Structure 1
Amino acid sequence: MDAFPLPRHAVPTPALLLDRAALMRNIAAMAAFAEAQGVELRPHAKTHKSAEIARRQIAAGAVGICCAKLAEAEALAEGGVGDIHLTSSVVAPGAIHRLAGLNRRIALSTVVDHPDNARALGAGIDGLTVFIDVDPGSHRTGVTSAAAAVELAQVIAATGTLKLGGVQFYCGSHQHIQSLAERRAAIVERTDYLRAVLDALRAAGFYVPIVTGAGTGTFAIDASLGVFTELQVGSYIFLDREYLDCELAGPRFEPALFVDATVVSANTPGMVTIDAGLKAFATDAGAPVVLGGAPAGSRYAFTGDEHGALFGDDLPGLGARVTLMPPHCDPTVNLYDRYQLLDGDNVVEAWPVTARGRST
């Protein structure tokens, strides 16, 4: 067991480091924004997968959290989180049985986007709250028209066992549109469509108490349009290179998540090798950014499972420490067992990544 505090340079690498003060400032800033806008906050735990962080978000004012997968929700419930919304459908019979067990233990809701799934949930679980997942145009999940939403609401009502909690609408493909003006125009257009779906449901006699969705790239726009009652923001607690590339609106958040690595080979002019490669960073969003330990302008490249390369001038020598920013925080976190909590230049605590690998 580690003895804390531990000097940052003594932590074995690659290490997932979390600036505790920056994290708490980000949590507080989003909570204050939601309160000022009169909307509820339900942060998405697929970003951090941590019961420690989820409990702090709830303590700061969040009504609960979101999870992407049932196993994530089970892990965080075991960690003391008592109000969870599942943002992906639960379809397999075995998973529905697990969902029923979790529904007996915590305040739980999930989404549906198909009448057959609603019937299966209604037959297997009494008293479950469900949300109609509405496709924003990406065709990943969700009903694809207002008429389909009404039909699904009718099936939910006919089960006699399910409760319609509201509608979920997540414009995932819009979150990283870099131009704020272009992102806003796209969200305004999609919100007009969402209004049409809500109008159809209400005209058919259905009460829609909660409209949940949004994300770190669009939450301020979504709040200003007055349709969402609940924000499912996730990456704001950490930020990453993808979001720093965007022109964001609303409160300012700060990077809080980093990976420290060590130079393990320095034999080629203009290049050194570090011990953080494909197993240390998600690769879907390009290369990480060099933040410290090497000159400005140094460039990272993946060179293998265990290794990466830094290119540039006056690079650090053998054994030197380098700090990098993940390009995409969510899947990077899922590569690590724990966060090392930073307070200045010391690691003062370690938090487990509670739901790491919980993908079922």
Structure 2
Amino acid sequence: MTYAQTLHQHLIGRQGSRRDLNTPALLVDLDALERNIAAMADRARQAGLALRPHAKTHKCAAIARRQIEAGALGVCCAKLGEAEALADAGIGGLLITSPVVGASAVARLAALAARSEGLMASVDHPAAVDAIAASGARMTVLVDIDPGLHRTGVADAEAAVALARRIEAAPGLTFGGVQFYCGSQQHIEAFAERRAAIIERTDYLKSVIARLSAAGLAPKIVSGGGTGTHAIDLELGVFTELQVGSYVFMDRQYEECDLTGDGRVPFETSLMLDARVISANHDRLVTVDAGFKAFATEAGAPPILAGAPAGSAYHFMGDEHGCIVPPRGERPPELGEVVTLAAPHCDPTVNLHDAYHVIQGDTLVDIWPLEARGRSA
């Protein structure tokens, strides 16, 4: 049982219990979450594409289970440890999107493949293929293609063909297709600019697929895409499955993007954090109990959703503290009052907490552990 469950289990189901949560408390609005899951599933279904959402966003079996129940093939995991945690919680159809390298990690991968039906991994180097085959693993493997970021992935079509052939020749391994994730394009704010960038990268992907097909290695799976480019990816129809992640929660980064080209925001903010005013000795600001340890900070300060006058701003004030500054002429919240904040960047914010406090309105209805939280290896 997580610390959050121990602390708050007695509040589940009690009307209005959200106000009694110890803070800072990471919250998920259940109704908004389920609407987001259904909306993305419907969009993919109408376009004839599959979903394999990225669990690095939520790291939670309860959410993965809901995505699969809505029609997803399974979920993606950024790291081997995430896949192990979700497999142990009964989640199948896992794809590990980062290379698994090193003797101990490859041994864990082989053991996981033996107990997790449908497990797949991505590779970008011949030595990695050889190591996985030598481990005795029996599994499907995807060739990771570099979209231009030079982070992971083979460098060109020739390398993709050579690696696919090596997989096909390796005992126990099956070449399943390719992975192509354009991470740097996901947060381009203007839709037209993002669309142009993705069309150019997708043309490159199509050239790699053509070379593989000419070599008799046509990929059955073409996996990639993300929340920021999902509408464009669905339109272009090159992927067979999308690795969308942040749509379940949304965050400030994606709220600032025109995701659909018409200014609409197709998904709701379902992830938030309640903080409490713990010091109120100044007219122009108050201090809340959520600081650097409550939010990822690389994307700036969290937006204020509720609990403070419109136009108020949050500023970090250290590991455990932040301040709320209202507009001039407005009074800040009183001591003990709760301020609700959104995540600037949801994935790394989630990784700072051990559980979600699941709410409907002002009532705590469940507490979900983050089984894959902290699984960085």
Q: Contact 2:109/2:137 (CA < 8 Å) preserved in 1?
A: no
1:252: how far off? 1.1
- CA offsets 1:291-341 (integer angstroms, 9 cap, x no match): 111001111111100001111231001111100001001111111111001
Residue type at the aligned position of 2:53: P
Aligned equivalent of 1:103, options 105, 108, 113: 113
Residue type at the aligned position of 2:373: R
Aligned equivalent of 1:237, options 223, 248, 261: 248
Aligned equivalent of 1:217, options 206, 228, 231: 228
1:160: how far off? 3.0
1:269: how far off? 2.3
1:113: how far off? 0.3
Residue type at the aligned position of 2:376: S
Q: Contact 2:305/2:340 (CA < 8 Å) preserved in 1?
A: yes
Task: Please list, as runs of the form range in 1=range in 2, the aligned pairs for 1:15-30 lying within 5 A after superposition.
Answer: 15-30=25-40
Gaps of 5+ in 1: none
Aligned equivalent of 2:97, options 67, 87, 110: 87
Aligned to 1:316: 333
Residue type at the aligned position of 2:13: P
SS in 1 for 2:280: strand
1:284: how far off? 1.1
Work out the CA distance in 2 between the residues paired with 1:113 and 1:296. 49
Aligned to 1:187: 198
Aligned to 2:3: none
Aligned equivalent of 2:270, options 252, 256, 259: 256
Work out the CA distance in 1 between the residues paired with 2:227 and 2:217. 30
The answer on 1:5 being equivalent to 2:19 is no
Q: Contact 2:114/2:138 (CA < 8 Å) preserved in 1?
A: no
The answer on 1:226 being equivalent to 2:237 is yes
Aligned to 1:38: 48
Aligned to 1:270: 284
Q: Contact 2:113/2:137 (CA < 8 Å) preserved in 1?
A: no
Aligned equivalent of 2:83, options 69, 73, 92: 73
Aligned to 1:200: 211
Work out the CA distance in 2 between the residues paired with 1:60 and 1:153. 32
Number of residues of Structure 1 aligned to a counterpart in Structure 2: 360
- CA offsets 1:138-165 (integer angstroms, 9 cap, x no match): 0000011111111111221222321011
Aligned equivalent of 1:330, options 320, 344, 347: 347
The answer on 1:178 being equivalent to 2:189 is yes
Q: Contact 2:114/2:137 (CA < 8 Å) preserved in 1?
A: no
Aligned equivalent of 2:321, options 304, 307, 311: 307
Work out the CA distance in 1 between the residues paired with 2:137 and 2:337. 58
- CA offsets 1:152-183 (integer angstroms, 9 cap, x no match): 11221222321011000000000000000000
Work out the CA distance in 2 between the residues paired with 1:159 and 1:60. 35
Work out the CA distance in 2 between the residues paired with 1:23 and 1:226. 26
What is the aligned-residue RMSD (CA, Å)? 1.1
The answer on 1:161 being equivalent to 2:172 is yes
Work out the CA distance in 2 between the residues paired with 1:202 and 1:299. 54
Residue type at the aligned position of 2:61: A
SS in 1 for 2:374: coil
Aligned equivalent of 2:65, options 55, 59, 65: 55
1:228: how far off? 0.4
SS in 1 for 2:119: strand
The answer on 1:340 being equivalent to 2:357 is yes
SS in 2 for 1:143: coil
The answer on 1:136 being equivalent to 2:150 is no
TM-score, length-normalised on structure 1? 0.98
Residue type at the aligned position of 1:342: I
1:226: how far off? 1.6
Aligned equivalent of 1:152, options 158, 163, 167: 163
Work out the CA distance in 2 between the residues paired with 1:224 and 1:125. 40
TM-score, length-normalised on structure 2? 0.94
- CA offsets 1:258-280 (integer angstroms, 9 cap, x no match): 00000011112211110000000
Work out the CA distance in 2 between the residues paired with 1:199 and 1:83. 27
Work out the CA distance in 1 between the residues paired with 2:69 and 2:155. 36
1:5: how far off? 2.0
The answer on 1:280 being equivalent to 2:297 is no
Work out the CA distance in 1 between the residues paired with 2:83 and 2:171. 25
Paired-residue identity, %: 59
Residue type at the aligned position of 1:335: L
- Relative to structure 2, which stretch is displaced further, 148-157 or 91-100? 148-157
Residue type at the aligned position of 2:28: L
